[in-house]
Amino acid sequence: MTLVLEDISKDFEQRNIRSSALLSINLEVGEKEFTCILGPSGCGKTTLLRIIAGLEKATTGKVILGGSIVTGPTSRTAMIFQDYSLFPWRTVLDNIAFGLEMKGVNEEERHKVASHYLDLIGLCGFGKNFPYELSGGMRQRVAVARALAIDPAVLLMDEPFGALDAQTRNMLQKQLLEIWDKTQKTVLFVTHSVDEAVFMSDKIIVLTNRPGTVKEVVNIDLPRPRDRTSQDFAKVRRYVLGLIDEPQSI
């Protein structure tokens, strides 16, 4: 399913002062593509993702997914939040099965599907645990499985690894790429880390400072799996780094 954004703008109004967060964004995300939205903090990249997820309305413009306009949350997209937002009163397995439960799938069937995704994220054996018994990295993997379980066409990820330490982060990046490879989903990934964007994506959409507009779309042709220490990687990284005004932070 291709995702097309047509002239998306978003204004916020606070105490009668209007300010523009996003300004006329046009872009297209191809099927099965891994795309990163990269920009300095406060540039509206999270807002953009929320508009695509149907959680917020754009002031102007429209989001077209697979030919039809997005008006609210749909099961064709699934969002993964930075704070995991797992339901702490549910077991890991019941968290993953949540979307199926909402659809009315019976318990046996949804547990079967949930177990499959539990395997996929490498956490089989943790189904009966509660989220608070897991580390941050494990929780975020559960959140990925929960999103995948509803079989969405597009995965929307809002700085999903932002709260994790560097090692866990690198590990999860690799793991996400493996999952992406296996499941063939379209992924739209918001990050402020240039390194992460270059390592993961087919395409990086660089946004400007607020109000966010598309500054440049960078295609990353480096072969996968990518080597962070290679010269080519460094070259691309330097180029993308030059595009954003703020100093880089990991």
Enumerate binding residues for other proteins (CB under 8 A): 53-55, 72-73, 75, 77-79, 81, 83, 85, 87-90, 98-99, 101-103, 130-133, 146-147, 150, 156
CB 136 within 8 A of CB 163: yes
Q: Compute the least distance from the CB of residue 49 to other proteins, in Å.
A: 11
Nearer to other proteins, 136 or 241 (CB): 136
Q: How far is it, in rounded angstroms, from Cα 77 to Cα 239?
A: 31
Q: What is the closest distance, in whole angstroms, from the C-beta atom of residue 147 to other proteins in the complex?
A: 8
Query: Among 58, 52, 72, which residue's Cα sits nearest to residue 2?
Result: 52
Of the pair 95, 201, the CB lying nearest other proteins is at 95
Q: Residue 250: which of 235, 228, 231 has the closest Cα?
A: 228
Distances (CA, A) of 38 to 88, 174, 196, 214: 31, 19, 10, 10
- The token pair at 148 is 């995948």
Question: Based on CB atoms, which residue is closest to other proteins, 163 or 222?
Answer: 163
Distance CA 132, CA 87 (A): 10
8 A C-beta contact, residue 52 and residue 63: yes
Q: Which is nearer to other proteins, 102 or 166 (CB)?
A: 102
Q: How far apart are CA 12 and CA 236, in angstroms?
A: 35
DSSP string, 51-99: HHHTSS--SEEEEEETTEE--S--TTEEEE-TT----TTS-HHHHHTHH
Q: Which is nearer to other proteins, 7 or 133 (CB)?
A: 133
Q: What minimum distance in Å lies between the beta carbon of 133 and other proteins? A: 8
Question: Taking the complex as a whole, how short is the minimal distance between the CB of residue 119 and other proteins, in angstroms?
Answer: 20
Q: C-beta of 103: minimal distance to other proteins in Å?
A: 6
Instruction: Return the H-helix or E-strand segment holding 102.
Output: helix 98-102
Residues 153 and 49: their CA atoms lie apart, in Å, by 15
- Between 30 and 73, CB nearer to other proteins: 73
CB nearer other proteins, residue 11 or residue 56: 56
Least distance to other proteins, CB of residue 94, Å: 10
Supply the minimum distance, in Å, between the C-beta of residue 193 and other proteins. 21
